[in-house]
Amino acid sequence: MSTTLPAALPDLHPVPSGDAARTYLVKTLGCQMNVHDSEHMAGMLEEAGYVAASPAQAADEDADVIVINTCAVRENAADKLYGNLGRLAAAKRARPGMQIAVGGCLAQKDRSGIVERAPWVDVVFGTHNLDVLPALLERARHNAAAQVEIEESLKVFPSTLPTRRESVYAGWVSISVGCNNTCTFCIVPHLRGKERDRRPGEILAEVEALVSQGAIEVTLLGQNVNSYGVEFGDRGAFARLLRATGAVPGLERVRFTSPHPAAFTDDVIEAMAQTPTVMPQLHMPLQSGSDRILRAMRRSYRSEKFLGILDRVRAAMPDAAITTDIIVGFPGETEEDFAETLRVVEASRFSSAFTFQYSPRPGTAAFDLPDQLPKAVVQERFLRLTALQDRISHEENRAQVGRTVQVLVAETEGRKDGSTHRVTGRAADNRLVHLALPADASDAPRPGDLVTVEVTHAAPYHLVADSALTGGTFLVRRTASGDAWDRRRTGTDEHSHGGAGDACGTGGPTGPVVLGLPTLVRR
């Protein structure tokens, strides 16, 4: 359904000539796909003449336009949205002309009900029509009425839209949108539609464009990346895409998320092991260790197949770190079923796990299943599972002590870095590493630089590398990404827009890189 809107208004622009540029803030709730969608929303707004709110303005939610990009996977998704909207209602009353837009999965699901419940919302748009955001904002201003537009199928492939990248050194690259699976607990296929695959040339063009702007890491993104190619009849396409992406000159790290165990094939393992730039890291969703529950979830694999995949991955890449998703308390789950999950988790030796209590979602097949479990039972099992995974994660991280790792320094991941005098980044296997700087470090690493250090301490969910304090290993390799970060920080990057200052000549700090439709770099 597409809510009827007035005809397109001629000669209207989101930021009329002569007006001060309006500021915007995009708030993201949800998964990596939502994060990347938010980058597209920001890119479209900047192309339309808006400027990003400064960090101080963002912290105060002080912007002319605030966009909330929603998630609908968990039961508390609506609570998060309306909690945000309730808080913003007062801000809007105090700020004439302020606009609030809601997009993403919950907008696709609830549609005009959002405006009915929160009539101060100006714009509601769905997952299939991100491109309409600037036009809907202007129509809402012009008509002084809320605008709702929801499409049932994809109109514009998101990756063709302008993109305001949050990082100059690492970027998301969508290889597909939507999902063809029918997992009974999942509402994503209903909200994002059937899988649509991008052509390999388009993907590689975007990767090349990112590298030309300074990125040295990309993550290939899809709801089910290893089914890539089915739409155009090539079941080996994902393995070949991994190899081709890994061969892009200047790219140093390739990751992907998320695969599905049922479609995960040995040619992908071979491509990972044989392509040096593909990192030894894999996110493989388990969901349950019980074959009976997997069947009820319509997950078309069983626990032994899952464990077999992990065995083959580790045979090819002994140092691979494997993470997962697990749901506790699916309808009808017995203590015996849960014990099977604990067994598989113990055998899998995940470096970390995203664990969830089952959340009933209207519109999913599991919503109407009998034997919904009491909250107390689910909570007790959840605590047992997280305690087990905490122990395993700590054991696996303690095995890293003494190893030499190369860390890609990040900009914001270490919340305590200021007090601990460390910087933070990710090792090749995606483990979080906090690393100390030598006392006389005259050439401190920048975000985007690579630092080789020795792991000295381990916690369940991060590593500490203080080797620089004892005269141990500490080698900084300055990279094109670090150079790009410097240009962005100093306002000398001609490709940057937004931020607290004006990237077009006032010398203020700039915002992340904006890329439009990518083209291949000619070498």
Q: Residue 19's pLDDT band (boundaries 50, 70, 90)?
A: low
Of 495, 517, 523, nearest to 215 by C-alpha is: 495
254/248 Cα distance (integer angstroms): 10
* pLDDT of 378 above 80: yes
Higher pLDDT, 270 or 177: 270
**CATH for the stretch 158-399:** 3.80.30.20
Of 234, 172, 153, 162, nearest to 197 by C-alpha is: 234
The order of strands in the sheet holding 147-149 is: 51-52, 23-28, 65-70, 99-104, 123-125, 147-149
* CATH match of 403-490 with 2.40.40.20: no
The tens digit of pLDDT for each residue in 355-376 reads 999 988 888 999 989 999 999 9
497/387 Cα distance (integer angstroms): 45
Q: Residue 193's pLDDT band (boundaries 50, 70, 90)?
A: confident
C-beta neighbour count of 231 within 10 angstroms: 17
* pLDDT of 271 above 90: yes
Residue range 90-106: mean pLDDT, rounded: 93
* pLDDT of 309 above 70: yes
Of the listed ranges 28-42, 215-229, 310-324, the one predicted with least confidence: 28-42
The tens digit of pLDDT for each residue in 450-490 reads 999 999 999 999 999 999 999 999 999 999 999 999 998 88
Q: Which CATH architecture has domain 23-149?
A: 3-Layer(aba) Sandwich (3.40)
85/278 Cα distance (integer angstroms): 41
Binding residue numbers: 31, 71, 105, 179, 183, 186
Q: Report the percentage of the chain scoring pLDDT > 90.
A: 72
- The reported pLDDT for the residue numbered 79 is 86
452/473 Cα distance (integer angstroms): 7
The per-residue pLDDT of the chain, averaged, comes to 88
* pLDDT of 101 above 70: yes
Domain boundaries, the chain: 23-149, 158-399, 403-490
Q: Report the percentage of the chain scoring pLDDT > 70.
A: 90
- Longest distance between any two alpha carbons in the chain, whole Å: 69
Q: Residue 494's pLDDT band (boundaries 50, 70, 90)?
A: low
- The reported pLDDT for the residue numbered 160 is 80
Q: Residue 157's pLDDT band (boundaries 50, 70, 90)?
A: confident
The tens digit of pLDDT for each residue in 411-431 reads 988 888 888 889 999 999 999
Binding residue numbers for [4Fe-4S] cluster: 31, 71, 105, 179, 183, 186
